[in-house]
Amino acid sequence: MDKAELIARIGYFRTRAKLSQKALSIDIDMNVGYINRLECKKDFLPSLDVLLKIIEACGCTVEEFFYSDIANYSTDKLILGKIKELPAEKREALLKLLG
């Protein structure tokens, strides 16, 4: 993931959480214009500590934030959960079917 995509994801999850840039800045104990500068000027990246605060404030998990296909995260996670519940022989059969 490059810098532009990381910043875009911050904006995506902030918007999904219905947080303004100002509200998110305040929620993570940063200057009120921090998120605005991050999203608009794109001239820096947050530290790991700040990024983790952003992710938490937006109500998502680190796994979801970095998942390659954000739009299908929930469905993919549900499918994976169902697959994990299958006995080993049924998982093997599913792999053969899909393979």
Overall number of domains in the chain: 2
Chain segment 43-95, per-residue pLDDT in tens: 899 999 999 999 999 999 999 999 999 999 999 999 999 999 999 999 999 99
- Do 79 and 57 share a domain, yes or no? no
Structure confidence at residue 99 (pLDDT): 83
Structure confidence at residue 77 (pLDDT): 95
- Do 82 and 94 share a domain, yes or no? yes
Task: Count Cβ atoms within 10 A of the Cβ of residue 27 and give its class: 0-12 exposed, 13-18 middle, 19 or more buried.
Answer: middle
- Do 41 and 80 share a domain, yes or no? no
Q: How far apart are CA 68 and CA 44, in angstroms?
A: 22
- Do 46 and 90 share a domain, yes or no? no
The answer on pLDDT for 42 being more than 90 is: no
Please tell me which residue, 6 or 99, carries the higher pLDDT value. Answer: 6
- Do 47 and 83 share a domain, yes or no? no
Say what the pTM is.
0.85
- Do 4 and 39 share a domain, yes or no? yes
- The two most distant CA atoms of the chain are separated, in Å, by 55
Range of the domain at 36: 1-66
